[in-house]
Structure formats: C-alpha cells, structure tokens
Amino acid sequence: MFFEPHHLYHIYNQGNNGQKVFFNRDHYLFFRRKLKNHILPFADILAWCLMPNHFHLMVHVNNVEIDEKLIIPGCKSGRDSESHPDLQRITLNKSIGIMLASYTRAINKQKGWSGSLFRKETKAVCLTRSDGISPAWYTMQGITSIDVPDPLHEYPNICYRYILCNPVHAGLVSDAMDWEFSSCREIMKSCKDVLINAKRIEYYGLEF
C-alpha cells in the first residue's frame, strides 16, 4: 500500500479463501476498537463497515508516519524517541499490519487455530488522484458499470455509499441502519461512540 497525506483512500481486506473473519458480536466490537487505536492516529475515518468475511474503510490520511508512543498501549506521552530509542517512528502501513496480526492472534488463540486469517495483501485505492482511480476495481466489487463525468468528485461518493450499503447488497439486512457493525448509525447520529469525522464528511460533500 502507498499512502500520501491529504488524500482519500478506500482500504479493504478479506479472509483467506473468502473465510469468515468475524464470528460473533464481540469479534466485531474488538476489531472496531482496533480501528480506533491503529487508524485514527494517522487518519480521519469517513466510513467503515465490518462484514462477516471482510472489511471496508474510507479514510482521509493526515500523517503517513507517527511516533510509536501514539498507538502503543502503555506508552506514556512524556516519552519520546530521542530519550527512548526503542520507541521509533511507525507508518500507517505498518500500523494496519499490526492491527490485522494482533486481531488474528487473538482469534487463533480463542479457536485453537494457526496461520493467517486475512489475505496477505491489504488493498488501498486512492479516491482523490486520477491515476489512483480504477473503474475495473468497482467492477470487481460487483458494480458492473460506472459512468461519471467528474471522477475526482463523484468516485468518493460512489465509494462512500458502496461501503455503507454493503450489508444490504450482501443480503444481511434490508436497511443499512439495521447493520450494527458499520458507520451508518454514527452518520445518522444514533450512537454516542463514533469513529467517523463528520466535518471531513461534510468537507467532501459525501451523502448517503
């Protein structure tokens, strides 16, 4: 994955061979907490959705690299990388890898499994660079045709709606608001604990 500051990205991954990665409600909530710890220090989240065998994130990247102390549990804010050389800089790429690996370890331990839970390569598609937008990618995700005269402005909204409607398209619910494990309820202001940045959503003119 390649990230640049001040751009929108769609990040997604799925289970190896299409297998499930979330097996009960606690697993979804556990992963959601990991999003807060491993993504928010680097980026604003505009949309997220956890599905039984994959996940979607739409983020605005603010920093591609930060101090480890900002995300590692137990690190005190007074410590810095100069006085503690064991604390180094960490990239968004690495943080995503740590997030998936730590989640996998927890599930494997619980179920007595071993090996990778997710596919090796997490995908990140830039939505605000013309050279990063690929209509074929949307076709791969089940949308057969897209005809937009202004991709840089319209693709972000297409992606935004796609992420939020994913549970409906998959036949899990009839209304996106009924799926607990996405940002839909946060957008509709029906829950207090939110991951999304409403001001960033408004800035890009995203509508659901």
Whole-number pLDDT of residue 83: 42
Domain boundaries defined on the chain: 8-203
Name the band, by pLDDT with cuts 50, 70 and 90, for residue 119.
Answer: very high
Whole-number pLDDT of residue 189: 75
CATH topology of domain 8-203: Alpha-Beta Plaits (3.30.70)
Calpha distance 67→88 (Å, rounded):
6
Whole-number pLDDT of residue 208: 86
Calpha distance 204→196 (Å, rounded):
13
Task: Give yes or no for residue 33 having a pLDDT over 90.
Answer: yes
Task: Give yes or no for residue 71 having a pLDDT over 90.
Answer: no
pLDDT tens sequence across 131-177: 655 544 444 444 434 455 555 567 899 999 999 999 999 999 999 99
In sequence order, the β-bridge partners of residue 51 are 54
Helices 92-111 and 25-38: crossing angle, nearest 10°? 160
Task: Give yes or no for residue 78 having a pLDDT over 50.
Answer: no
Task: Provide mean pLDDT across the span 25-31.
Answer: 98
pLDDT tens sequence across 80-117: 444 445 568 999 999 999 999 999 999 999 999 999 99
Helices in 135-180 by DSSP H: which ranges?
A: 135-140, 151-169
Calpha distance 128→8 (Å, rounded):
6
pLDDT tens sequence across 37-70: 999 999 999 999 999 999 999 999 999 999 887 7
**DSSP letters for 69-94:** GGTSTT--TT--TTT-TTS-EEEHHH
